[in-house]
């Protein structure tokens, strides 16, 4: 049986465009010989719709889109994800469902059984789970149709299972000959490998062919990578969709005769995957929000340089504007490096000094600051004037401002509220500084795009004479390792210290992370690329007094 996989990018709430894209891809798959076609989870409304699901008109528009789509479907069935109403009470009002459309009608429906409510997921807030599952019978075959999480509970793969049920096993027990999975599986670093290995384990252990069609695109913080896959009953790859791009596959899942050899699908290098994810994240955020261009401060440093490169890749160089805003502590190298980068990329570049504005604010505050020692109050004026400048350009010319802070800085509060945190999107807010360097070197793998000095010089905010990041932070290799243990792996101080880190450094870093929660709550959305990002995936109260006392080795 030839299965068509429609790996497509949908926009939350854009029912007309989503439906048009779906129908065009369906027609292409049918022309390619597909006998049954799959589209991703909740494709018609976009994923995740969040509290739009609490609006009756949104749910109704989604049902109308489903009915109108069904009217355009012929003899080859299309299975697509949508939001269904739940008529059973007690229970939540909605269901995360999939419908099979054929001959102008909705001929069959099924509902997601396992509702993820962890990390970035909150489906139990909206949906009622299916209590039972059953295969869909089509032309003498029993198809086990599942939705995303339903396939993520294999007892042989996961040491700790979140659910008591395994819908895949339930379907196989009822005679399912293949497993078809509709997914909107968000990407994070390494997810493509984990997902593929998990699916291979299911196919191989259950001795059943399997396909998963996964969404691609970005909606707010979440990025979907695609990498849709078809596996035979030996867990071998028959076909795989591209990463971070739309794709249409047609694959014979019940092919007879000689078994196809393992394709040995190799994923690109980690740095390339991160770059592709961030580029897609910027592109979709900007365009789905109705904008065309972006602007950012170019400091000559590695963070702003990398974001400029990714933005130019995402939107085209003509839609990226770099602005240098020097003051008295700005080095000459910061300007030459920023100018060189802009020339290498072909983006617009302007120099708008803030020194005169800085002097005016200093004069304004002179009397009330009298008798105090200069500190971060004076330093941060510069950052905030840069934020004012960028926002003025944004208001006047319409581009979205990208902030340039990385995860290491955001973690410990090495950022300025209403200054360098001003903006609409924080593209690398979930990228550790050590990874920023790795991606930058990957960018320069064939020729110098990011100036070498931007990569090799000691990082500095240049807000006081001779300032260096390491004046107040441990080396980034140490800082990032502690951040991974504390933020991503959720370990405590004692466990981190016992793994070999200096107690004083761990105490200082963890205390800074805890103290800076109020800053991160006011930051723009950041693109999620790690297993645990600040923001929607890590929900820590601001007003709270739980603290672990400082420890010694």
pLDDT tens digits, one per residue of 433-481: 999 999 999 999 999 999 999 999 988 877 888 888 777 899 999 999 9
The DSSP symbol for 99 reads: E
pLDDT at 259 over 80: no
pLDDT at 104 over 80: yes
- 188 a catalytic residue: no
**Catalytic residue from among 45, 148, 188, 415:** 148
pLDDT at 168 over 60: yes
pLDDT tens digits, one per residue of 138-165: 999 999 999 999 999 877 777 788 888 9
What's residue 283's pLDDT?
Answer: 98
What's residue 60's pLDDT?
Answer: 98
Measured CA to CA, the distance from residue 153 to residue 202 in angstroms comes to 10
- 148 a catalytic residue: yes
Over range 106-116, report the average pLDDT.
98
CATH number for 274-469 (one of 3.40.50.300, 3.50.50.60, 3.40.50.1100, 3.40.50.620): it is 3.40.50.620
The three state secondary structure string of 388-434 is HHHHHHHHHHCCEEECCCCHHHHHHCCCCCCCCCCCCEECCCCCCHH
pTM of the model: 0.95
Radius of gyration of the chain (CA): 26
Measured CA to CA, the distance from residue 302 to residue 295 in angstroms comes to 16
**Catalytic residue from among 35, 79, 112, 415:** 112
Place of tokens 């243990």: 485
Phi, psi of 99 (to 5 degrees): -125, 140
Contact 301, 444 (CB under 8 A): no
* Beta carbons within 10 angstroms of residue 223's beta carbon: 25
Residue spans in the chain of domains classed CATH 3.60.110.10: 2-111+182-267
Could you please state the CATH topology (level 3) that the domain comprising 2-111+182-267 is classified under: Nitrilase/N-carbamoyl-D-aminoacid amidohydrolase (3.60.110)
**Catalytic residue from among 41, 170, 206, 236:** 41
- 41 a catalytic residue: yes
Contact 116, 151 (CB under 8 A): no
What's residue 262's pLDDT?
Answer: 54
pLDDT tens digits, one per residue of 446-459: 999 999 999 999 88
DSSP, collapsed to helix, strand or coil, labels residue 186 as strand
Residue spans in the chain of domains classed CATH 3.40.50.620: 274-469
Measured CA to CA, the distance from residue 30 to residue 74 in angstroms comes to 10
pLDDT at 360 over 70: yes
Q: Which residues of 25-46 are buried (b: 16+ CB within 10 A; e: fewer)?
A: bbeebbeeebbbbbbbbbbbbb
What's residue 370's pLDDT?
Answer: 96
pLDDT at 325 over 90: yes
Give the ranges where 207-331 is alpha helix by DSSP (H): 270-288, 302-315
């Amino acid at each position: 049986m030839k299965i068509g996989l429609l790996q497509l990018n949908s926009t939350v709430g854009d029912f007309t465009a989503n439906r048009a894209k779906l129908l065009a891809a369906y027609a292409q798959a049918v022309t390619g010989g597909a006998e049954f076609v799959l589209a991703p989870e909740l494709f018609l409304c976009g994923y995740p719709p969040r509290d739009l699901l609490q609006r009756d008109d949104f749910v109704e528009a989604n049902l109308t889109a489903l009915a109108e789509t069904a009217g355009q479907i012929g003899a080859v069935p299309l299975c697509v994800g949508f939001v269904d109403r739940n008529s059973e009470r007690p229970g939540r009002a909605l269901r995360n469902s999939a419908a099979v459309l054929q001959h102008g009608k909705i001929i069959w429906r099924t509902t997601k059984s396992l509702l993820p409510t962890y990390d970035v997921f909150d489906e139990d807030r909206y949906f009622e789970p299916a209590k039972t599952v059953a295969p869909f019978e089509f032309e003498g075959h029993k198809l086990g149709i599942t939705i995303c999480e339903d396939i993520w509970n294999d007892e042989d793969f996961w040491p700790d299972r979140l659910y008591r049920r395994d819908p895949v096993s339930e379907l196989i027990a009822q005679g399912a000959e293949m497993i078809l999975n509709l997914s909107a599986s968000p990407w994070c670093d390494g997810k493509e490998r984990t997902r593929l290995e998990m699916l291979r384990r299911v196919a191989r252990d259950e001795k059943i062919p399997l396909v998963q069609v996964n969404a691609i695109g970005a909606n707010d913080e979440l990025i979907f990578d695609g990498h849709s896959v078809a596996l035979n009953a030996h867990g071998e790859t028959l076909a795989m969709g591209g990463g971070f791009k739309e794709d249409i596959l047609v694959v014979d899942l019940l092919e007879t005769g000689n078994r196809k050899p393992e394709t040995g699908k190799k994923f690109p290098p980690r740095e390339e995957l991160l770059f592709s994810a961030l580029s897609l994240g910027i592109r979709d955020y900007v365009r789905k929000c109705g904008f065309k261009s972006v602007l950012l401060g170019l400091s000559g440093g590695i963070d702003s340089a990398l974001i400029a490169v990714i933005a130019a890749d995402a939107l085209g160089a003509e839609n990226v504007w770099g602005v240098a805003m020097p003051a008295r502590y700005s080095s000459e190298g910061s300007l030459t490096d920023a100018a060189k980068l802009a020339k290498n990329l072909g983006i617009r570049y302007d120099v708008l000094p803030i020194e005169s504005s800085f002097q005016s604010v200093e004069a304004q505050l002179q009397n009330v600051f009298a008798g105090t020692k200069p500190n971060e109050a004076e330093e941060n004026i510069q950052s905030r004037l840069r934020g004012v400048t960028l926002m003025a350009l944004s208001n006047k010319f319409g581009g979205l401002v990208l902030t340039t802070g990385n995860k290491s800085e955001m973690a410990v509060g090495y950022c300025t509220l209403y200054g360098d945190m001003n903006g609409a999107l924080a593209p690398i807010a979930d990228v550790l500084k050590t990874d920023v360097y790795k991606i930058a070197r990957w960018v320069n793998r064939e020729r110098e795009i990011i100036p070498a000095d931007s990569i090799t010089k000691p990082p500095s905010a240049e807000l006081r004479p001779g300032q260096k990041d390491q004046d107040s932070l441990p080396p980034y290799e140490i800082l990032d390792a502690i951040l991974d243990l504390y933020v991503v792996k959720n370990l405590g101080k004692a466990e981190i210290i016992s793994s070999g880190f200096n107690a004083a450094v761990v105490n200082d870093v963890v205390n800074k992370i805890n103290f800076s929660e109020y800053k991160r709550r006011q930051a723009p959305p950041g693109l999620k690329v790690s297993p645990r990002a600040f923001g929607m995936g890590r929900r820590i109260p601001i007003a709270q007094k739980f603290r672990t006392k400082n420890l010694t080795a």
